[in-house]
Amino acid sequence: MTLSPLVQDFVLHFGEMGGRWGMNRTVGQIYALLFVSPAPLCADEMVAALGISRSNVSMSLRELQSWNLVLLKHRADDRRDFYTTPEDVWQILRTLAEERKKREIDPTSAVLDDLIARRAADAGDRHAQARMRQMQGLIGQLAGWYDEVKALDNTRLAGLLRLGAKVTRLLDATDKFRPSRRALRGKSTQ
């Protein structure tokens, strides 16, 4: 299997980006190859296209499967396993976000819960726990926002992304109608 220069450049770039995203280069290259392939590929086809070892392809496919980023396909006339990626790029985005949350955010949140629940030994620990509560609050807000956003259908999610910085204008407009904190404090003392 020979890759066109266009596909080869895409695959090589994804390999380079893989290292920046926390995966090895081969995992990134295989994912890119599967993403642009018009049909599911077997491991032997990936070996031929990328010029890498069969064991490296197998390990990389296991990594991609652990991230739920590849789909296993079978052909009636062939005993080999064939792989592809979801067609829906929004599903890929959702899967990546969910997997990153499970691997990075959830464990951090659990550790913060444990550390905040411990008895503080001194003023330094109390200060550290206060800072940890701030971090936990932010993580909680982000997790809540994520849960709301992941429930959006693709059209609404695309619309949200198109809004971009326009959201700040909406927030600025709502601030004009919200009483200031100073005004609210003044009312509570009256």
- One domain, residues 80 and 106: no
Q: What is the pLDDT of residues 119-132, one digit of tens each?
A: 999 999 999 999 99
Query: How many domains does one find in the chain?
Result: 2
Phi, psi of 74, deg, nearest 5:
-125, 155
Of 84, 101, 120, the last residue of a domain is 84
Please say whether the beta carbons of 130 and 179 come within 8 A. Answer: no
Please tell me whether the overall predicted TM-score, pTM, comes out greater than 0.85 for this model. no
pLDDT value for 61:
97
Does 78 share its domain with 108? no
Say if 187 falls within a structural domain: no
Question: With helix as H, strand as E and coil as C, how does the chain read?
Answer: CCCCHHHHHHHHHHHHHHHHCCCCHHHHHHHHHHHHCCCCEEHHHHHHHHCCCHHHHHHHHHHHHHCCCCEEEEECCEEEEEEECCCCHHHHHHHHHHHHHHHHHHHHHHHHHHHHHCCCCCHHHHHHHHHHHHHHHHHHHHHHHHHHHHCCCHHHHHHHHHHCCHHHHHHHHHHHHCCCHHHHHHHHHC
Last residue of a domain, one of 65, 84, 103: 84
Q: Is residue 31 assigned to a domain?
A: yes
pLDDT tens digits, one per residue of 130-187: 999 999 999 999 999 999 999 999 999 999 888 887 888 887 888 777 766 666 666 6
Domain final residue pick, 33, 61, 84: 84
Q: Are residues 64 and 49 in the same domain?
A: yes
88-93: long-range pairs with CB below 8 Å, 24+: 88/154, 90/154, 90/157, 90/158
Q: What's the token pair of residue 70?
A: 């590849």
Question: What are 27-81's pLDDT values in tens digits?
Answer: 999 999 999 999 999 999 999 999 999 999 999 999 999 999 999 999 999 999 9
Both tokens of 162, joined, read 């198109």
* Residue of 80, 62, 54, 79 lying closest to 23 (CA atoms): 62
Q: Are residues 63 and 124 in the same domain?
A: no
